[in-house]
């Protein structure tokens, strides 16, 4: 379980490599990606920028890149190779959660040493303990959501670039 949490936490802050095989030449693959992009809902969350050298997929909301890649043509095989970029807010959320947990632990320690009421000391200590224990699971949930979004986008790109959609 610990290695899975480390992998998930790494996925939140490190780029994830991706390689997608295309059954088409670069110019036709770009056309198929643009057709796929146009076929998305009018409220699609992404913007596609494709050239014969590179592909960038950005978030419509803030313009931050989700995927950066380039075309590789080797031995009559065309591939889109690149990386999924981590969500830009992930490091801020992780740091904010860490600061909140540190403040909660400090508050629990302060209450333990200064509050005469046992109920308040126990309640804050239990809340702080549960929060510390739940923090890795919250990070796992956030990372799982980000990885699922990346997997959906990768499947959509594969369907657009393959002759035999899977």
More confident call, 150 vs 41: 150
**Selected residue with higher pLDDT from 137 and 9:** 137
* pLDDT per position as a tens digit, 68-84: 999 999 888 899 999 99
pLDDT tens digits along 97-128: 899 999 999 988 888 888 778 888 888 889 99
Per-residue pLDDT averaged across 119-145, rounded? 88
Strand, helix or coil for residue 133:
helix
1: confidence class by pLDDT, cuts 50, 70, 90:
low
Angle at 129 between CA 123 and CA 134, to 5 degrees: 125
Q: Which residue has the tokens 């803030």?
A: 62
For 56-65, write each residue's pLDDT tens digit.
Answer: 998 888 888 9
Cβ-Cβ contacts under 8 Å for 84 (sequence gap 6 or more): 15, 16, 18, 66, 67, 150, 153, 154
Least confident of 81-85, 115-119, 134-138, 143-147: 115-119
């Amino acid at each position: 379980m610990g290695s899975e949490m480390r992998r998930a936490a790494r996925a939140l802050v490190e780029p994830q490599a991706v390689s997608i095989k295309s059954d088409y030449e670069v110019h036709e693959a770009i056309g198929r990606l643009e057709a796929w992009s146009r076929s998305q809902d009018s409220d699609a969350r992404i913007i596609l920028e494709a050239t014969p050298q590179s592909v960038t997929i950005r978030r419509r909301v803030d313009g931050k890149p989700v995927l950066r890649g380039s075309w590789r043509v080797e031995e009559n095989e065309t591939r889109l190779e690149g990386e999924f970029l981590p969500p830009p807010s992930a490091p801020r959320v992780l740091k904010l959660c860490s600061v909140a947990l540190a403040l909660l632990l400090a508050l629990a320690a302060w209450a333990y040493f200064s509050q005469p009421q046992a109920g308040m000391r126990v309640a804050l200590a239990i809340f702080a303990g549960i929060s510390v224990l739940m923090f890795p699971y919250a990070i796992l949930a956030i990372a799982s959501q980000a990885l699922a979004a990346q997997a959906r986008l990768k499947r959509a790109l594969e369907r657009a670039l393959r002759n035999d959609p899977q």
